[in-house]
Structures are given as C-alpha cells and as structure tokens.
Amino acid sequence: MASNAQGPVRGSASDGQRSEVEQWASKRQLYVDNLKVILIAAIIVGHGVVSYATVASFAYADVREVTLSPVTEGVALAVVAPFGLFMIPLLFLVAGLLTPASLGRKGSGGYVRDRLLRLGVPFAVFSFLLWPALLYALYRPLGNAPGSYWAELIGTPEESLDTGYLWFVGDLLIFSLAYAGWVRIRGDHQGPRRGEVNAGHLGWLAAVVTLVTFLVRLEFPFDSQKYVDLNLYQWPECVALFGLGVMACGQGWLTAVPDRLGRQSRNTTLAAVGGFAVLTGLGAVLGAIDDATWGGGWNVLAFLFAALESTLAVFGPVWLLAVAQRHLDRRLRWAGPVVSRSAYGAFLVQGLVLTGLAVALRPVGLPAEVKAVIVAGGGVSGSFALAWLLIRRVPGMSRIL
C-alpha cells in the first residue's frame, strides 16, 4: 500500500495528479481527516477480529472455521467493546458538524445531489448487488444459504436485506436529506446558536437517549435486522449525535470543543467504561447476561446496558473530538493526503477485502487469534490500497469516493 498510496505525493505520479491530491488536501481540516483515517482503520480492525468471534457481528463469523478463545473474546468485550460503542456516534457527530457549512456552500439542490451520489449510489450498489452476491457465494457452499438467491436476498421480516456495515451510510443519507428538507422549510442552514452546550445538557441528552433506546429495543433488539437492516436499535444515539453536531457547529466545535467540556466528557466516559466492564464481567461470572438483557427487554439489566451505552455514545465522541483537535491537527507521516483521500473508499470496500483474506486463510491451520491479526492488519492496508486504486483507475470514481 505504501508505495502505491504515497506515490503521487512523493513524485512518482504526474504533476497534475500530485496537484489534484494536494489541492484536495489543502481544503481539508487536518484533524478531521486524521481522525477519519484512525476511526475507519479501527473499524476495519474490529471487523477483522470479530470475524472469528462467537459474537457474530460480521458476516464471516457465521461460517468461521476457528474461534477466539473465551479469554480473548472476554477481554475484547470488557475492554475494547466500550470504546467501540462510541466510534460510530463520533462519525455522526463529525458529520453533523460539517453538514450546515456544506449545505450552505452547495445550496439545497446541490447538497441533495451530492449526498445521493456519494452516499446513495454506494449504498444501493453495495446493498442490492455486491454484498448479497458475495454472501451468497460464501454461504451457499457451506450450507448457510440453503434457499434460492432471491430468497436469501429479500430475507424475512425478522432478517431483512443485509446491508452489512453500510447501514451507517444509509442512515447518514436519511439524516442528511431530512436535515436538508428541514432547512429548506425553515430557510436557515447555520444551525441553532442559542446558548452554549455544557455537560449538563449532554447529561440530559444521554438520559433521553437512554430512555428512547430502552423503549426502541423492546421492538428492535440489539443487533437485529427487523424489517430493515439500518440498525434501528442504534437510531436514538445516532440521531442525537448528528443533531448535536448540527447544533454545535454554530458554537465553534468544529474548531475547538471547550476545554472544560472536553475534560468533563473524558471523566464521564471513563467512568462509563469502568461501569460497562464491571457489569459485563459480573454478568458473565454470574451467568446473568443473555439476549434478553443485552438485546433489550423489560428488566433492570437491559436498562443499565442502555444507560451505559447511551452515556458512552454521548460523552465519548465529545471527548475524542476534543482530543483529536488537540493532538491530530498536524500532518502525520502515516496519514498523508493520499491515505486521507482513500479513507471513505476503504470503509466501503473493507467487506470485500476482509472476506477475501479470511477465505484465503480458511484452509491454513492457524489459531483464530493469529488469523484475526492477519485479517485485521491485511484488511486495513488492503482496503486503503484498493480504494486508492479505484480512485485513480476507474473513471468517475473520484466523484463518489
């Protein structure tokens, strides 16, 4: 990846190509692009690891040939999972912060066309063509897809069309179009600017998200694909963080989160991480955690899970945004313009790369932990390299990726 990706910046490509990438980079916020690279790389690593976990949250896990040890999976769940819970909300927060300015520059018509092109086209092609075909080709020989291709494609009310990890893109498209419609009616694209958001406001927001999440999961349990695979069970926190970003953009959050709020968000997040680890650890020891508690239901544990997750989803992104603004607002050697330019494409193609690597390693007799490391590491480098190749070699792809 390094030789292909960095070529245009170091001089191996034409001056025109180099100028195009550098011009693109010159219009960007450095910390935003660096943060995006880190988050997308972390998401790819997470998907690579859970491909071998009993918590089957990625497609290959359903047909894995080896499984992570209970100790490995337990440590990952207790330590890593809490941070994973606020990575996607952080992306929605950043998207919300960037949206009003983008809408103001392009106008409602241009903004809607841009969102349909950059979000709608990849979502449709992936969800209705690439991902179903890949899964059917993977599952059919292994007995996990006994029916026809059409039956597997349309699914059932309980297991709908599988959009995979691109549920995020579908949701962002819906939220973006809804915001554009709201602005068209109100005629104000700058976002609300009344008052300053403080820790108390975030606390109230977390409380509301907790209650709504608890109620939503009575109908849409955690990790379910009921009716439509858009992670409806996560919508309360995703809508809240996108809306928070839209509101906070008028208060300068895109440049700097207030220092005091950043510290308060850090302390609250770490406390919630500790609470999450204790709850999952005790629940595992006592055998008290099952689908009815983790997924949702009328019980205290389900409410506690919703409360801890919602707290992480609200305060965690604000803390990490403040950290990124302080430490990532500079050129990083490993996250240059070409890597940043490839980040969105890497997110889109990761499923193809990860699945291909896992299938290639399938006949190799290695422990799950070793395979997970290989797939995760290769998935990051391979996804960014493939995205850059598509941008450079496929006509028109640069407008989408």
Show me where the domains of the chain are located: 1-68+335-401, 75-328
* CA–CA separation, 38 and 34 (whole Å): 6
User: What pLDDT is attached to residue 189?
Assistant: 55
What is the token pair recorded at 317? 């992104």
Task: Identify whether the C-beta of residue 122 lies closer than 8 Å to the C-beta of residue 356.
Answer: no
**What's the rounded Cα separation, in Å, for the pair 119 and 172?**
8
pLDDT tens readout for residues 132-161: 888 888 888 877 766 666 666 666 655 667
Cβ contact 283:301 at 8 Å: yes
Q: Give 81's pLDDT tier (boundaries 50, 70, 90).
A: confident
Model confidence pTM above 0.85 = yes
Mean pLDDT of the chain: 86
- CB of 364 closer than 8 Å to CB of 63: no
285 against 76, higher pLDDT: 76
Residue 12 has pLDDT above 60, yes or no: no
Output the pLDDT for position 85: 83
Which among 77, 239, 61 is positioned nearest to 165, based on CA atoms? 61
Angle between helices 368-393 and 30-50 (to 10 degrees): 140
Residue 275: strand, helix, or coil: helix
The model's confidence at residue 11, banded by pLDDT at 50, 70 and 90, is: very low
DSSP track, 166-230: GHHHHHHHHHHHHHHHHHHHH---S---SS---HHHHHHHHHHHHHHHHHHHHHS-TT-B-SSSS
pLDDT in tens, 58-70: 889 989 999 999 8
Structural element, H or E, at residue 96: helix 87-115
How far apart are the C-alpha atoms of 207 and 193, rounded to whole Å?
22
Structure token digits, residue 306: 């919703």
Q: Name every residue whose Cβ is closer than 8 Å to that of residue 353 and which is 6 or more positions away in sequence.
A: 378, 379, 382, 383, 386
Query: 284 falls in which pLDDT band (50, 70, 90)?
Result: low
Q: Where does the pLDDT of residue 7 fall: very low under 50, low under 70, confident under 90, or very high at 90 and above?
A: very low
pLDDT at res. 190: 57
Token pair 């059917």: residue: 136
* Helix 259-286, helix 199-219: angle, nearest 10: 40
pLDDT (0 to 100) of residue 56: 67
Assess contact for 96 and 191: CB atoms under 8 A.
no
Q: What average pLDDT score do residues 45-62 get?
A: 88
